[in-house]
Amino acid sequence: MIRALFEAGADVFRINMSHNSHAELADKVRVIRELEENVGRPIAILADLQGPKIRLGTLPNGERDLAKGEKVHLVRKPSVESGDDIPIPHAEIFAAIQPGEVILIDDGKVRLKIEDVGKDEADAIVENGGVIKNKKGINLPDTVLPIPAMTPKDRSDLDAALALGVDWIALSFVQRPDDMADLKKIVGNKAGCLAKIEKPRAIDWLPEILDLSDAIMVARGDLGVELPVQEVPGKQKLITKMARKAGKPVVVATQMLESMITAPVPTRAEVTDVANAVFDGADAVMLSAESAAGDYPVEAVSMMDKIAMTVEGDPQYIPIMNSQRNEPESTTPDAIMAAVHEVTSTIHARAVVCWTKSGSTALRAARERSDAPIIALTPQLEVSRRLSLVWGLHCIYTEDAQDLDDMVDRAARFAFLEGFAKPGERIVVTAGVPLRTPGATNMLRVAFVGPQKSL
């Protein structure tokens, strides 16, 4: 099935640590790495850490029906004996919440507004009524909780994932830049660090969080609980725009083809939703339950792939991308990549070929959203895998070039052998000279593709 998903268009496989033991994680990583070796293409693995889970305690009879306008008493206890109190066994909530702030229960189905707060108790009024049940989740959209994004379970899962060589780590419950700084200290250069933006407070700190992250995810599930749902599309566009400006890959996730959990085709609204994410410049779009637990996982991946390919072939796509381009910074790599974009468009080059060791050259090329495919050649296997998340990159793990002539010759051969260019067509080659100097992009060459032999 994983092979079928890859062949249908998946570039990255997310393993959700909310639902996987370390043994299951290791088994999935093994299967994906075996597939990678069989197909000869780099495949990225993303380990998604669970983050803190804040839940109700235990209620008498397991549930309680709350009426709109009813006054309720919240207590810091794991369970209650009478039906008058609601147990919330989290001291940090009572330490942080203030009158006027909101508590959401069960994905926002029930809404309470705090009126008064004590050390281990609080009074609230029910704004949206409904039935609450044992252990249902709690969201606090107005409150910055004094808890780290990484729990002891997350730290254990992180150590296991890094030991297995996963390519990306996604951190849930990011509220502050410090959350990403803590993750980066542990991960170092072993994997890319992705911040999941699912808390409204994270949006307030977005520039600082972007600085500390290697990629961003618009996690619309929890974001849509903690924000009014009508605000989520605007926040999605804002996050995507800011990530694009910062040159960081951005993933749009949650409920993208939700109906395909049980249906072989999506709704028209879902297709439009995915297409809009691509038109906004997202690097990747992500399936969750559709592929993890749905009845039509391959069809969902195939549909997502078709939508993205169709949008990128639409006459409006390149003009929209060009309108989003940022002015290059006053650095040699930015100037070279701006020139690569102009040259590629002017001469209708069939491909851009980037030689990259750290991945920075390929990231800059992708940021320009060229109208030609980008081939990223790297001697670092882990870099080729990590770059699989990035827009437009066809990543190839290969030995490093020996000299400038070898660099241009092999770029042309890869463009031909991978099916991007025919003999007589032109490609644009970019790299850093002297060779093997990370982050020193300073060369642009136009090359003709000739009759090629195997590499």
The strand pairing partners of 219, in sequence order, are: 253
Sorted by sequence, the CB contacts under 8 Å of residue 23 that are 6+ apart come out as: none
177 prior amide bond cis, ω within 30: no
Cα distance between residue 271 and residue 263, in whole Å = 14
196 is catalytic: yes
Maximum CA extent, the chain: 82
Relative orientation angle of helices 22-39 and 152-163, to the nearest 10 degrees: 30
Structure tokens at 44: 């990225």
CA neighbor of 368 nearest in space, from 396, 384, 349: 349
**H/E run at residue 6:** helix 2-8
Closest of 232, 175, 185, 186 to residue 209, by C-alpha: 175
254 an active-site residue?
Answer: yes
Instruction: Give counts: helices (H), strands (E), the chain.
Output: 17, 20
Rounded to an integer, what is the distance from CA 193 to the centroid of its chain? 10
Q: What share of the chain is helix, strand, coil (3-state, %, to 5)?
A: 40, 25, 35
* Annotated catalytic residue, options 76, 196, 248, 367: 196
> Which residue is catalytic, options 143, 240, 254, 344?
254
Kindly tell me the burial class for residue 234, based on how many C-beta atoms sit within 10 Å of its own C-beta (0-12, 13-18, 19 or more): exposed
- Of 14, 111, 367, 386, the catalytic one is 14
> Would residue 267 show up in a list of annotated catalytic residues for this protein?
no
Within 8 A by CB and 6+ apart from 403, the residues are 435
* Structure tokens belonging to residue 394: 């066809």
Half-sphere CA count of 278, side-chain side, radius 13 A:
24
Active site residue 55: yes
- Best CA proximity match to 365, nearest among 324, 332, 335, 337: 337
Bridge pairing between strands 351-355 and 426-432:
parallel
Residue among 33, 55, 133, 241 flagged as catalytic: 55
Catalytic residues: 14, 55, 196, 254
